[in-house]
Amino acid sequence: MSKDIKTIAVFTSGGDAPGMNACVRAVVRTARYHKLMIYGIKNGYEGMIKGELEPLFNESVANIIHRGGTILRTARSEEFRTKEGRKKAADQLHAYDIDGVIAIGGNGTFTGANIFYKEHGIPFVGVPGTIDNDLFGTDYTIGFDTAVNTAIEAIDKIRDTADSHNRLFFIEVMGRDAGYIALNSGIGSGAGNILLPETNTTVEELIEVLDKGAKRKKLFNIVIVAEGNKNGNAFDIAKAVNKKFKHYDTRVTNLGHIQRGGSPTCHDRVLASRLGYAAVEGLLGGKENTMVGVVNDKLEYTDLAVAIKKHKPLGDDLIKLSRILSS
């Protein structure tokens, strides 16, 4: 154990993700196991600037492992983007004698932490908490499994009505820059096609696939659309396709923020617990400006600069699989 670490803080930032509370719980209980003082920072970087810190104890995190959202809350902070704002945040951490910070969030959270560490030298360990699953250095991020299962449940229900009415459904899921949710929920739900940010499927190519299905008398079809695909949103694509397939009763559903909510799956609870524990152990072991992840079911640490800059590609095998199974 590092003799320099006596007091730490934890916060959640960016978009909420199911499992963040399980991670906070693991951080607090691991810290208390090591006799550390731990504070929770409310409202992300904005709360750090304003000094919204409160001590956390084992009882503070009782009965939260199953809850979605984040008890520490989250908020965007324009002020933290400025050097003056980060100086205020550093002053607050020094006022509480914080020796290290655990940041639970995604790319934006870690970008801020990386800059903050370079300017003020306070050790940070990041925990990947984002439903997008787009961070390099971990196979899975906290919240991804729950988001995919939420999407699958919704798509299965839509499939029932699509089948009953011979409808063509376009279902938009989250994924502005990464298609992990779309690809996995599309394969898992047996979608007829999946439009991803990483691929260049044109509307014309989509129409060709749908036309093949129509010729073999396919009664209904479901197309999963990642919000960041290059052809526009699900409504735009549906409008373009409907010009060709006027005989289809076309409908559009945007699953939106329901993918972020809800009770986390067992996978996300266990993952969040492992990563929260490892974040504290990492700080005590001298880790700083790093992200903890799980790679091949083993805990690994990756420099924050690498985690936020290096691209995490979709598996070509999964993309090929999705095309074969939807044909």
Query: Whole-structure pTM over 0.85, yes or no?
Result: yes
Please spell the DSSP secondary structure of 234-268, one letter per residue.
HHHHHHHHHTT-TTSEEEEEE-GGGGT-SPPPHHH
* pLDDT category of residue 163 using cuts at 50, 70 and 90: confident
pLDDT per residue as tens digits for the range 141-159: 999 999 999 999 999 999 8
Q: How far from the centroid of its chain's Cα atoms is residue 34's Cα?
A: 29
Task: Please give the Cα distance from 288 to 124 (Å, whole number).
Answer: 5
* pLDDT category of residue 276 using cuts at 50, 70 and 90: very high
Contacts of 263 (CB under 8 A, 6+ apart): 18, 66, 67, 68, 146
Task: Please give the Cα distance from 111 to 180 (Å, whole number).
Answer: 21
Angle at alpha carbon of residue 285, lines to 297 and 38, rounded to 5° = 95
Sign of the CA dihedral running 28, 29, 32, 36: negative
DSSP H/E element including 54? strand 53-55
Q: How far from the centroid of its chain's Cα atoms is residue 163's Cα?
A: 31
pLDDT for res 257? 92
Half-sphere exposure of 249 (CA within 13 A, CB side): 9
Instruction: State both tokens at 123.
Output: 């050790």
pLDDT per residue as tens digits for the range 178-187: 999 999 999 9
Residue 204 scores a pLDDT above 90: no
DSSP H/E element including 271? helix 266-284
304 forms beta bridges with: none
Mean pLDDT of 2-30: 94
Angle between helices 266-284 and 144-165 (to 10 degrees): 160
- Residue 258's identity, in one-letter code, is I
CATH level 2 (architecture), domain 147-259: 3-Layer(aba) Sandwich (3.40)
Task: Please give the Cα distance from 284 to 89 (Å, whole number).
Answer: 22
Is domain 7-143+264-309 annotated with CATH 3.30.460.80? no
* pLDDT category of residue 218 using cuts at 50, 70 and 90: low
**Does the annotation mark 134 as catalytic?**
no
**Domains 7-143+264-309 and 147-259 are alike in CATH topology:** yes
Q: What percent of the chain has pLDDT over 90?
A: 77
What are the residue ranges spanned by the domains of the chain? 7-143+264-309, 147-259
Given the residues 16, 91, 97, 132, the one annotated as active site: 132
Which of 70-84, 184-198, 237-251 is predicted least confidently?
A: 237-251
pLDDT for res 286? 95
How much is the mean pLDDT over the chain? Answer: 93
Residues of 57-78 as b/e, b for ≥16 C-beta within 10 angstroms?
A: eeebbeebbebbbbbbbbeebe
Task: Please give the Cα distance from 179 to 172 (Å, whole number).
Answer: 11
pLDDT for res 200? 82
* Residue with more model confidence, 151 or 246: 151
* Residue with more model confidence, 231 or 113: 113
Residue 201 scores a pLDDT above 60: yes
Q: Are 83 and 77 in contact (CB under 8 A)?
A: no
